[in-house]
Amino acid sequence: MIPIYESDVVIVGAGLAGLAAARELVKSGKKVTVLTKLHPLRSHSGAAQGGVNAALSEDDDVELHMFDTIKGSDYLADQDAVELMCSKAPETIRWIEHLGCVFSRREDGRIAQRPFGGQSRPRACFSKDRTGLVMLNAIYEQCVKEGVNILDEWYVADLLYDGNKAYGVVAYNLRDTTPAIFNAKAVMFATGGYARAFKINSNAHANTGDGLSIFARKGLPLEDMEFVQFHPTGLAGSGILMSEAARGEGGHLLNSEGERFMKKYAPEKMELAPRDVVSRAIMKEILEGRGAKEDKFAVYLDLTHLGEEKIKERLPELRDLALTFLGRDMAKEPILISATAHYSMGGIPVDINGHVKKSPNELTEGLYAAGECACVSVHGANRLGANSLLEALFFGRWVGWQINKDLDSLSLKEAKKEDADFMLNEVEGILNSNGSERVANIREELQEMMTTKVGVFREEKTLLEAKEEIKNLRERFKNIKLDDKSKTYNTDLQEAIELGHMLDYSAFIIEGALNRKESRGAHFREDYPKRDDENYLKHTYAYMDENGEVKVEYGDVKITKFEPQERKY
């Protein structure tokens, strides 16, 4: 008999967004279950290095933070959501500090802030270069203290949703593949990002976008999926992140001729132009043959002029990473970097209070999302550095409050044991599959294809090829074979399910990119190099039908204070 557990709220994901919501709900006396496939402290939030934005200093203000964010988004962000987030940022920083997050300080004892790309003021609060980990530890400890019920190493594979209302999830225990139904009045997804679909990426292995595909398979839309952020500075070869803090602290980008090439692309902001601008500049240098001497697919990031003391004090993790994975000491010589798939601006469409949308103007009931898996949309077509830790923490907490309010009017729709059938069939189907295809091969081909055809530069011809290839890969996926058929910590099984998710949401990225015949923020079409506000100042909403075909429609962008202008740096 499959067990059915009841709570008021089920939260999927134990990164900053999931835990912030859980803590607030439990504080208000609600019964909450948090499910996570990782130990909470292994969530990708813990890998964030650079910082978290808030207009704290004397010469900064909320309106400026808001403007920078909207300009950075290439005017696709919803301005009401941006205003909410930026105005609550200082309070959010004080909150997490009071919960135990230790920030680096200025001489006078106030919280130190470093410059980040596209920001008019130094605005990123940080804990050396391990900001995400320090914040995650603080919120996790608070959750433990409050007695939040966290079930780690549980893999959520399905959502209980009747076409209008959500009433739980179906999951299995990774230890022994035991299934269970988690029935609840409200369900929140905080499953994080999904850049693992790309070969060169900065994301944790777990960032396979499960939450998005689970929603898409229910016929729910995904928003703005074509906007994938390529971070300018991933370590050459691996894509492991060298945080923007490296440029924030004064790092220079150089080509094979020793030229600080950013002066050609963003003469004013130079290395601290927004990520889309810097990534394209790096890729252009590489494509035009000015890549590094040691590796023509990379350029140099030079930090040597900062001196060993400052690097040790401000960037100790980065130095370690470059030493371990590149064998280079950044205090002594320039390191090699190139653009890496990093962050997903798009995701599960939600309104400003985290309610999941079932179309541009209709909401579901009892279903919520926050953090990187959601699209609220505060980042529009391009996120500014240090705005997503803020998004995860602030909206996680905010949506927790919203759920707490909504619970008064939400009733429990009882789950039945047949509700687990979809997941049980999926698991058994994969375990018993006896085809000829290898999961790892299909994944590698997918990642290679997404990087070369749906990467920094896109055009119709290669996008059409990508669409065809994904169809083939999805067909081949039906013919896989696993070697491990056991039920104990079967990572083969998990990776197969995750690959299914990656294939599904990649189809959304490709379809969104094909249909958006303009260049905006992180989405750059060589065949349509200009932004086209007349036709495309709108959000993409895409839906998948039973045959796996993805269809696109568009919804409005909320513009309140700032009319779109040309974006120059």
Ligand X SMILES: Cc1cc2nc3c(=O)[nH]c(=O)nc-3n(C[C@H](O)[C@H](O)[C@H](O)COP(=O)(O)OP(=O)(O)OC[C@H]3O[C@@H](n4cnc5c(N)ncnc54)[C@H](O)[C@@H]3O)c2cc1C
Using CB under 6 A, which of 25, 26, 32, 49 touches ligand X?
49
Whole-angstrom distance, CA of residue 542 vs CA of residue 220? 8
Type of residue at 397: R
Question: CB of 290: closest distance to ligand X in angstroms?
Answer: 27
What is the biggest distance separating any 2 CA atoms in the chain, rounded to whole angstroms?
68
Using CB under 6 A, which of 96, 187, 337, 392 touches ligand X?
392
Query: Per CB under 6 A, which region of 40-48, 429-437, 438-446, 548-556 contacts ligand X?
Result: 40-48
Residue 482 near residue 433 (C-beta atoms within 8 A):
yes
Beta bridge mates, 523: 520
Of 310, 192, 297, 290, residue with least CA distance to 235: 297
Using CB under 6 A, which of 75, 103, 140, 155 touches ligand X?
155
The CA–CA distances, whole Å, from 145 to 9, 10, 141, 149, 384 equal 19, 19, 6, 11, 33
Query: Per CB under 6 A, which region of 61-69, 385-393, 407-415, 459-467 contacts ligand X?
Result: 385-393
Task: Give residues 217-256 in contact with ligand X (rule: CB under 6 A).
Answer: 241, 243
Q: Which residues are catalytic?
A: 275
Residue 482 touching ligand X (CB under 6 A): no
Question: CB of 16: closest distance to ligand X in angstroms?
Answer: 4
**38 versus 236: smaller Cβ distance to ligand X:** 38
- C-alpha torsion sign, points 304, 310, 316, 317: negative
Residue 51 touching ligand X (CB under 6 A): yes
Interface with ligand X (CB under 6 A), residue total 45
DSSP labels, 448-459: HHHHHHSSSSB-
| The Cα angle at residue 534 between residues 456 and 382, in degrees rounded to 5 | 30
Residue 105 near residue 406 (C-beta atoms within 8 A):
no
Query: Per CB under 6 A, which region of 189-197, 459-467, 481-489, 532-540 contacts ligand X?
Result: 189-197
Residue 54 touching ligand X (CB under 6 A): no
Question: CB of 168: closest distance to ligand X in angstroms?
Answer: 14
Tokens of residue 68, six digits: 């920078």
Whole-angstrom distance, CA of residue 372 vs CA of residue 191? 7
Other Cβ atoms within 10 Å of 294 Cβ, number: 12
Binding mask 346-375 for ligand X (x = CB under 6 A): -------------------------xxx--
CB under 8 Å to 304, separation ≥6 — which residues? Answer: 330, 331, 332, 333, 334
Question: CB of 508: closest distance to ligand X in angstroms?
Answer: 17
Question: CB of 397: closest distance to ligand X in angstroms?
Answer: 11
CB under 8 Å to 379, separation ≥6 — which residues? Answer: 69, 72, 73, 77, 227, 345, 387, 388, 391
**45 versus 402: smaller Cβ distance to ligand X:** 45
Question: CB of 214: closest distance to ligand X in angstroms?
Answer: 7
**81 versus 514: smaller Cβ distance to ligand X:** 81
**192 versus 274: smaller Cβ distance to ligand X:** 192
Using CB under 6 A, which of 389, 473, 493, 509 touches ligand X?
389
**326 versus 386: smaller Cβ distance to ligand X:** 386
Q: Return the half-sphere exposure (C-beta side, CA atoms, 13 A cut-off) of residue 524.
A: 18
Question: CB of 526: closest distance to ligand X in angstroms?
Answer: 27
**167 versus 536: smaller Cβ distance to ligand X:** 167
Using CB under 6 A, which of 7, 8, 9, 13 touches ligand X?
13
Using CB under 6 A, which of 321, 386, 410, 427 touches ligand X?
386
Which residue in the shown chain puts its C-beta closest to ligand X? 15
- Which letter, b or e, does each residue of 84-110 get, where b requires 16 or more Cβ atoms within 10 Å of its Cβ? bbbebbbebbebbeeeebebbeeeeee
Tokens of residue 6, six digits: 């009841």
Question: CB of 510: closest distance to ligand X in angstroms?
Answer: 22
Task: Give residues 111-150 in contact with ligand X (rule: CB under 6 A).
Answer: 131-132
Tokens of residue 524, six digits: 């750059």
Whole-angstrom distance, CA of residue 51 vs CA of residue 113? 8
**8 versus 244: smaller Cβ distance to ligand X:** 244
Beta bridge mates, 335: 301
**154 versus 261: smaller Cβ distance to ligand X:** 154
Residue 156 touching ligand X (CB under 6 A): yes
Using CB under 6 A, which of 210, 271, 276, 504 touches ligand X?
210
CB under 8 Å to 396, separation ≥6 — which residues? Answer: 16, 17, 18, 19, 20, 21, 190, 370, 371
Residue 15 touching ligand X (CB under 6 A): yes
361: left (phi over 0), alpha (psi -120 to 50) or beta: alpha
Residue 43 touching ligand X (CB under 6 A): yes
**466 versus 499: smaller Cβ distance to ligand X:** 499
Site residues (CB under 6 A) for ligand X? 12-18, 35-38, 40, 43-45, 47-52, 131-132, 155-156, 190-193, 202-203, 206, 210-211, 241, 243, 343, 371-373, 386-389, 392
